[in-house]
Amino acid sequence: MTEISFRDATADDLPEIVRLLADDALGAQRERYADPLPQAYRDAFAAIQAQAGNRILLAMMDGRIAGCAQLTLIPGLSHVGTMRAQIESVRINSGLRGHGIGEKLIRRCIDLAREAGCGLVQLTTDKSRADAHRFYERLGFVGSHLGMKLKL
């Protein structure tokens, strides 16, 4: 297996990131991978870059994007003012799954959260993603809360 490296995403990476987000049954229903990309993706990326503590991390292999995750640092009052990190939009190139890239990407996110002073890392995963649940549990995550969402 080739070495995996990590870097922050740039606007030039957006088409490949959106392709990754759309590359599964759930993502295909909610993403719009097109050329050109919808402007909403560029606007969202600019907002992520402008917000301190918010980034898109890329897993790189052989000069190509192998995976991505969004890592957001969230200051909070609960847990005696504990800073937490939220991991979202985790995707690995479908042709590269099962090679440990996802584990390395999540562990890198955890390391970055720890370095930033976070005392907690949280994420949500769709109820239908049983394989993802097992993956995160294997990495030490515990299904301790019920996540709820309200679409606006």
pTM of the model: 0.93
List, for residues 49-97, the tens digit of each pLDDT value. 999 999 999 999 999 999 999 999 999 999 999 999 999 999 999 999 9
Spatial separation of the C-alpha atoms in residues 30 and 22, rounded to whole Å = 7
CATH 3.40.1390.30 fits 5-138, yes or no: no
Phi-psi region of 69 (alpha: psi -120 to 50; beta: other; left: phi over 0): beta
List, for residues 84-140, the tens digit of each pLDDT value. 999 999 999 999 998 999 999 999 999 999 999 999 999 999 898 899 999 999 999
Domain spans of the chain, in order of start: 5-138
Burial, 1: exposed, middle or buried (Cβ in 10 Å; 0-12, 13-18, 19+)? Answer: exposed
Q: How confident is the model at residue 1 (pLDDT cuts 50, 70, 90)?
A: low
